[in-house]
Structure 1
């Protein structure tokens, strides 16, 4: 289990860094900024698919949905911005 969490953290950290650079790019599309704000609001919101009051399982939806949402946003980047963020 710890190995999976470590892998998830590594992927999320890399994707979060790429998202950060994409947001700072001068040609970043508006939908990227709105999508990022929505992901952050979901993380901070007390309303979740699975309530956080349920031990361990409550945080599971955040651990799965947030990386998926970030990866989904990154896959829709225009090619020139995606190439610039990978450098």
Structure 2
């Protein structure tokens, strides 16, 4: 006999972490959109620009190679900054920005970026082959 109120799949910790990470990624894009929108209050725009730039930047306040503390900014600073921006942006605007961000996340974002990465891989392969032929 099956219970009617039990979910069909247990909500595992890994599944919840993936959903949380996906929501964070969407919200970073949403706050970047908020920072660029004139309807957003200027205080929220400044904080949104700073948080989005920090979240998207390859440079961390605390380098990731430092044990435990290296991921502190990824696990605390960015989510807390996102929460602060969400509190400052009017709710209807935030809903709009999140919808736009979710739509952008569904499709490739930059063909130019893909071309640059592809060219870098081709250059790396060419350099490797050149080094190997010089070595032999």
> Shorter chain as normaliser: what TM range?
0.5 to 0.7
Once the 2 structures are TM-superposed, how far is the Cα of residue 41 of structure 1 from its aligned partner? 4.6
Corresponding position of 1:32: 44
C-alpha RMSD over aligned residues: 3.0
Unaligned runs of 5+ in 2: 1-12, 100-136
Paired residue for 2:28, among 5, 16, 25?
16
Larger radius of gyration: 2
Relative to the length of structure 2, the TM-score reads 0.45
C-alpha distance after superposition, 1:8-49 (max 9, x if no partner):
31121121132133223231222122213432358666644x
How many residues align? The count is: 85
Higher RCO (Cα < 8 Å, 6 or more apart): 1
C-alpha distance after superposition, 1:28-75 (max 9, x if no partner):
222122213432358666644xx6553243223332220121122112
